[in-house]
A and B are shown apart, each in its own frame.
Chain A
Amino acid sequence: MRAVCWNGVEDVRVETVPDPKILNAGDLILKITSTAICGSDLHLYDGYIPTMKPGDILGHEFMGEVVEIGSEVKNLSVGDRVVVPFNIACGKCHYCTHDLWSLCDNSNPNAQLAEKMYGYSPAGLFGYSHLLGGYAGGQAEYVRVPYADVGPLKVPSYLEDDQVLFLTDIFPTGYMAAENANIQPGHIVAVWGCGPVGQFAIQSARLLGAERVIAIDRFPERLKLAQMHGAETINYAQINDVVGALKEMTGGRGPDACIDAVGMESHSAGLTGLFDRVKQNLRLETDRPHALREAIQACRKGGTVSIPGVYAWLLDKVPMGTAFAKGLTFRMGQTHVHNYLKPLLQHIENGDIDPTFVISHRLSLNEAPGAYKMFRDKQDDCIKVVLKP
């Protein structure tokens, strides 16, 4: 089959690889009908997530048709059309049974590797480094899905792929970010990053009752999209002081909740941005946390900082004293996608939200290498790429 393989920094290729096989009785094989490139895939593309190996198949946002099931699979049959959560969960451990699916105890076969870095291992992810399981991803014609009775959700045939594909990651991720923001009536929510997760966080914050949402980015097309969905916007490239602007827009109080939908590769024009780039390239820090610093600085006293943006490991100059002085609450982590599949599918079926609004490009799987570069460099107003195998 054809698959998008990581071969090094800024080097992804479409290669012919062996078809996946059932390895455990609980597995299924999916024929992929749609797959997407996630903003977090760009951290792999840029080489900032450790433990990638040349030849790893990328992709954790995918859906398709079941073509083979293991002998123990009970809930699905060949021919079913399903979306698959990006995190892999066994469904039986203490974490899974307490709805903390992205913290599954059993799904990372390389748990010891993750434990060396993090103390304890989170769940395995599709196509997202050996630290997180080394699972082959779904930017391919076929993929093996473990614990088939636990993750995949059947989707109604009248909904198009494009309408349900983002249930696999970015819609639940944006939604959980808004849920983690502890939004109360009258709250003002600021969202750093108007990529796909930021866009879903903005819409979810509205769904959850935020009074106002303020979106922060520098790309006009992304800010425009946020504005179309009811957000006020700050283009940080045009002003000097994002924190000051937010203070001004909120009567001097600051936003009640701040959502960092940027993560470890935050862009900044200023000196701290340069400082982070130098340190990251010297491997003195793994992450550039500019957006997080601003979110902590801007958040009102007693407010909540919600972090859906991916951080890999070590951050420098994070103003912990500021967070402490203001009594902030931090909520973060990989999305517990399994919790959100059914409720968010319901929102789509009700017409509360049409997830296709983030799609800027529909390409073939063979065009993946160019699509990664375009997405990373924000060329051609690229916001979200869907690939068809």
Chain B
Amino acid sequence: MQQANSEQPQRSTTETLVNVSQNERRLSTLGGALLLLASLQNKRKFRFGIATAGATLLYRGLTGISPIYKLMNKNTAIHSREASISVPHQQGVHVSQSITISCTVEEVYTFWRDFNNLPRFIPQLKTVEVQDNTHSHWKLAGLVGMTIEWDAEIINDEPNSVIGWRSLQNPYVDHAGSVRFKTAPGDQGTEVRVEMEYRPIAGVVGTALAWLAGNAPEEQTYEALQHLKQILEVGEVTTIEGQSSGRAEVKA
């Protein structure tokens, strides 16, 4: 599957209106539906009121938009305290992992800042093509040999401190991530902390497609960090793939 990428840096406006968290939306949908059902069976004077409350809740749940929250200037959909560097909804897959690498902050930052290096330690990434200082084109190995592609831009870059990026609009991938670098205490190198979000734009199917070969995102992210550590500390990724054993599949 090849996805053409449109060059629209702005997100659609409906997304930015969403201000209700995923859990609240589920509860609202359920509660709204129950109230509407109840109103159909209620012959008394509260019937209209119950129906209105049900419909409001249902709208809130299905759209994720709460006019009351808007009036209160409240937004439970934004979870992260660094909204500028993460997907601005508490939706989809959120991953957060960290590792300590025995290298200076400069070394780790410089290696990561060159996005050409990303496929060296993220096994699922086929290529990342750097286009200019902030833009790059990513190709990811998806399910059963498919490739998922998107354009990304760096939206936050503080040398030796943080790099943040997000995907530019694409119907199948809405991805954002950040990596923070901090000197570890006791001369132990650099603490690297990654946060990433993948939001399912095309629903469950889109998530399944985008979300790699169906493996646990936490573990995949951590594996990538371990590979990064091995490359920076030792110069090679530790492996046993291709070694001898008495198992038939290797003999063949």
**Footprint of B on A, CB under 8 Å?**
1, 3, 5, 7, 13, 15, 17-21, 23-26, 53-57, 72, 90-94, 97, 105-109, 111-112, 124, 133-136, 140, 144, 146-147
Contacts and interface: CB of A to CB of B under 8 A. Distances in A.
Interface string B220-252: 001100100110011111111111111110110
B246 A105 contact: no
A94 B245 contact: no
Contacts of A91: 234
A18 B234 contact: no
Contact of A93 (B233, B237, B244): B233
B231 to A, nearest CB: 10
Contact of B251 (A17, A94, A112, A135): A17
A18 B249 CA distance: 11
Given A17-B245, A17-B246, A56-B245, A134 B240 contact: yes
Contacts of A17: 244-246, 250-251
B243 to A, nearest CB: 5
B245 A57 contact: yes
Contacts of A111: 226
A105 B189 CA distance: 13
B238 A18 contact: no
16 contacts: A7-B246, A17-B244, A17-B245, A18-B251, A23-B242, A26-B234, A55-B246, A55-B248, A57-B244, A90-B230, A90-B238, A94-B188, A106-B229, A106-B233, A136-B244, A144-B243
B219 interface: yes
Nearest to B99: A105
B96 interface: no
A53 B226 CA distance: 24
B236 A24 contact: yes
Contact of B246 (A15, A24, A146): A15
B166 to A, nearest CB: 27
A135 B240 contact: yes
A57 B246 contact: yes
B26 to A, nearest CB: 30
B243 A92 contact: no
Contacts of B240: 23, 109, 133-136
A19 B245 CA distance: 9
A136 B243 CA distance: 7
B118 to A, nearest CB: 20
B102 interface: yes
A21 to B, nearest CB: 6
Contacts of B233: 90, 92-93, 105-106
Given A23-B239, A97-B102, A90 B244 contact: no
Interface string B98-116: 0010100000000000000
A227 B109 CA distance: 60
Contact of A94 (B189, B234, B239, B248): B189
A72 B239 CA distance: 16
Given A23-B242, A24-B236, A106-B229, A55 B247 contact: yes
Nearest to B186: A94
Contact of B238 (A20, A57, A106): A106
A23 B243 contact: yes
A17 B242 CA distance: 12
B234 A147 contact: yes
Contact of A108 (B238, B241, B242): B238
B251 to A, nearest CB: 6
Given A93-B102, A112-B223, A54 B238 contact: no
B234 A106 contact: yes
A132 to B, nearest CB: 11
A15 B247 CA distance: 10
Nearest to A116: B219
A109 B241 CA distance: 9
B243 A3 contact: no
B238 A136 contact: no
B241 A92 contact: no
Contacts of B245: 5, 17, 53, 55-57, 136
A57 B246 CA distance: 7
Contact of B247 (A26, A54, A106): A54
Contacts of A13: 246
Contact of A3 (B102, B222, B242, B246): B246
Contacts of A19: 244
Contacts of B237: 24
